[in-house]
Amino acid sequence: MNYVELGSRAHRKASVSMLLGSIVTFAILYSPQPLISLFSQQYQVSPATASASISLTTIALGMSLLFFTVVSNIWGRKGIMSLSLLLTSIFAIVSAFIHDFQAFLVFRFLEGISIAGFPSIAMAYLNEEFSPRAIGRVIGVYVAGTAIGGFIGRIIIGGLTDLFNWQFAMLMMGTVSLLLSLWFWFYLPASGNFTPSKTSLRQWLAGMRASLGDKNLLSMFITGFLLMGGYITVLNYIGYPLTQAPYHVSQTIFGFLFVVNLVGTWSSIWFGKLADRYSRKWVLGLAIAIFILGALMTLSSLLTVKVLGIAVVAFGFFAGHSVASGWVGVLAVKDFKAQASSFYLLFYYAGSSLVGWSSGFFLNRFGWNGLVYYTCALLIVSMLVSSQVKPNAKKRGLSPS
């Protein structure tokens, strides 16, 4: 295989392009998050219904992942990812002109379908084009883009909503995303190690059996489900205690609060490198323990400790996601790497949708403290599940598992 060499021009172009692609994807995906409590007030809906602006998008994304994986095996990686980014940006622009909340949710569902074309293929593209011995570092850069994108989307929406309204904020973000998507289309290097292939139902089912029948991969899928579910639970609902007494944080300040998520750009790259050098099992366990610590810190009545806790949550989550998603590429057999990555993301976004949505009812019943204890319980389960992965580095000739 003719792998892209680290430090080469192709590596720089691919890294910047994938960084921008992930920024567009996750900026649009999570842009309504600072507005969930505002939606509750403006449209008189419950926290669970307001959070559907996130959960509907992620469930549509999860359902569409496997379809795009199959299509990309026929049409190629770059074209599908480019089309995904362009359509997502256009949907974001159109949604800016929607004033009915139910209609807005319809467009958020459509965005979930279009968004799926990027993350479902991104990790497969990276696994194909870069050496397996460097994949932890490369995936770390990609995951860093998800942290940056999530931050940018939230801060733009929060700030511009205070200055104008959320529709104008969505219009501005969609326009900028469209420009970045065009840059991605023109500058991402074409796949060098991709060979088009027709995927029959029999082959697809074989890939599904290979992915879901592998206990190690299934452990990673469940880990991704719980990690993402816990992370989205904290970020979806932290606005309720912060925008109410005694804090009364404004939408602008609340949007800027998500700057703490940028620690994820560092932790994902750092833990990606650690996973290339040390036992992935222990590195992932450390990331989850940090996540739990951050969640517990948000129980404090001190605003500064709450904000610091969110930063620690972001640090632990992105570190854990970087290790877990990279580990899937290592564990999967060669012919089904793309499908295994898609199954990981299917579970990942199912966690975002199902756990994130259902946690709204938990918040109503038990308040913020109860929600935090629930989240910590999920994370402890994820730590136990990931610890069941059996080392197989010798069999695959890769770094320690």
* Six-digit token string for 209: 């059996």
| Closest CA relative to residue 317, chosen from 214, 232, 256 | 232
- Comparing C-alpha atoms, which of 67, 64, 62, 344 is closest to residue 226? 344
Query: Is residue 167 pLDDT above 60, yes or no?
Result: yes
This prediction has a pTM of 0.73
Domains delineated in the chain: 9-188+206-389 (1.20.1250.20)
Per-residue pLDDT at 164? 87
Closest CA to 170 of 117, 119, 104, 120: 104
Q: What is the per-residue pLDDT across 182-241, written as a single tens digit (0 to 9) for each?
A: 999 998 988 777 676 666 667 667 777 777 788 889 999 999 999 999 999 998 899 888
Q: What is the CA radius of gyration of the chain?
A: 20
How distant is the alpha carbon of residue 290 from its chain centre?
Answer: 18
Distance CA 36, CA 152 (A): 17
- pLDDT of 59 strictly over 60: yes
